[in-house]
Amino acid sequence: MSISISNITKTYGTQKALDDVSFSVGSGEVVGFLGPNGAGKSTMMKIITCFLPPNAGKATVCGFDTATDSLKVRRNVGYLPEHNPLYLDLYVKEYLDFVAGLHGLKDRTARVRTMIEKVGLGPEQHKRIGALSKGYRQRVGLAQAMIHDPQVLILDEPTSGLDPNQLVEVRALIKEIGKERTVLLSTHIMQEVEAICDRVIIIDHGKVVADDKASTLRSGAQQREGLEVEFDRDVHANLLLNIPGVLQAQRKQGHAWILAHDAARDVRPAVFQFAVENGLQVLGLQKIERGLEEVFKELTRSGN
Ligand code: ADP
Ligand code: MG
Please give the Cα distance from 157 to 43 (Å, whole number). Answer: 13
- Of 219, 253, 279, which residue is a domain's last? 219
Binding site membership of 37 for ligand 1 (Cβ less than 6 Å): yes
- Of 164, 184, 219, which residue is a domain's last? 219
pLDDT above 50: residue 22: yes
Q: Which of 31-35, 77-81, 104-108, 292-296 has the lowest mean pLDDT?
A: 292-296
pLDDT above 60: residue 285: yes
What's the rounded mean pLDDT across residues 268-291?
90
Please give the Cα distance from 88 to 98 (Å, whole number). Answer: 13
One domain, residues 46 and 175: yes
β-pairing, 246-253 vs 256-262, is antiparallel
pLDDT above 50: residue 244: yes
Domain of 260 in residue numbering reads as 224-300
Where are the extended beta strands (E) located within the chain? Answer: 3-12, 15-25, 30-34, 56-61, 64-65, 77-80, 152-156, 182-187, 199-204, 207-213, 224-231, 246-253, 256-262, 282-288
> Residue 262: what pLDDT?
79
pLDDT above 70: residue 222: no
- Of 167, 198, 219, which residue is a domain's last? 219
Ligand 2 centroid distance, CA of 41 (Å): 5
DSSP 265: S
What's the rounded mean pLDDT across residues 169-197?
90
What CATH number does the domain containing 249 carry? 3.30.70.1560
pLDDT higher at 8 or 266: 8
One domain, residues 238 and 159: no
Binding site membership of 39 for ligand 1 (Cβ less than 6 Å): yes
pLDDT band at 303 (very low <50, low <70, confident <90, very high): very low
> Residue 223: what pLDDT?
60
Ligand nearest to the CA of 41: 1
- Across the chain, what does the average pLDDT equal? 91
Among residues 246, 224, 243, 234, the alpha carbon closest in space to that of 290 is found at 224
What's the rounded mean pLDDT across residues 138-143?
96
β-pairing, 152-156 vs 3-12, is unpaired
Binding site membership of 187 for ligand 1 (Cβ less than 6 Å): no
One domain, residues 33 and 121: yes
Task: Write the CB contacts of 77 (distance below 8 Å, at least 6 apart in sequence).
Answer: 48, 49, 50, 61, 150, 152, 153, 154
Report the DSSP beta bridge partners of residue 97.
none
> Residue 304: what pLDDT?
40
Report the DSSP beta bridge partners of residue 182.
152
One domain, residues 22 and 167: yes
Most confident range, picked from 15-29, 211-225, 288-302: 15-29
> Residue 282: what pLDDT?
96
What does the DSSP assignment read for 102-128? HTT-SSHHHHHHHHHHHTT-GGGTTSB
Q: Give the type of residue at 110.
A: A
Among residues 19, 18, 9, 17, the alpha carbon closest in space to that of 55 is found at 9
Q: Which atom of ligand 1 is nearest to the CA of 206?
A: 10
Number of domains in the chain: 2
pLDDT higher at 190 or 266: 266
> Residue 188: what pLDDT?
83
**Environment class of 234 (CB within 10 Å of its CB; exposed 0-12, middle 13-18, buried 19+):** exposed
β-pairing, 15-25 vs 3-12, is antiparallel
Binding site membership of 17 for ligand 1 (Cβ less than 6 Å): yes
Pocket of ligand 1, candidates 19, 33, 42: which has the most ligand atoms within 8 Å of its Cβ, to mutate?
A: 42
One domain, residues 190 and 232: no
One domain, residues 123 and 181: yes
180 contacts 174 by C-beta, under 8 angstroms:
no
**Environment class of 36 (CB within 10 Å of its CB; exposed 0-12, middle 13-18, buried 19+):** middle
Pocket of ligand 1, candidates 8, 16, 43, 186: which has the most ligand atoms within 8 Å of its Cβ, to mutate?
A: 43
- 3-state DSSP: the chain helix, strand, coil percent, rounded to 5? 35, 30, 30
pLDDT above 70: residue 9: yes
pLDDT higher at 219 or 230: 230
pLDDT band at 161 (very low <50, low <70, confident <90, very high): confident
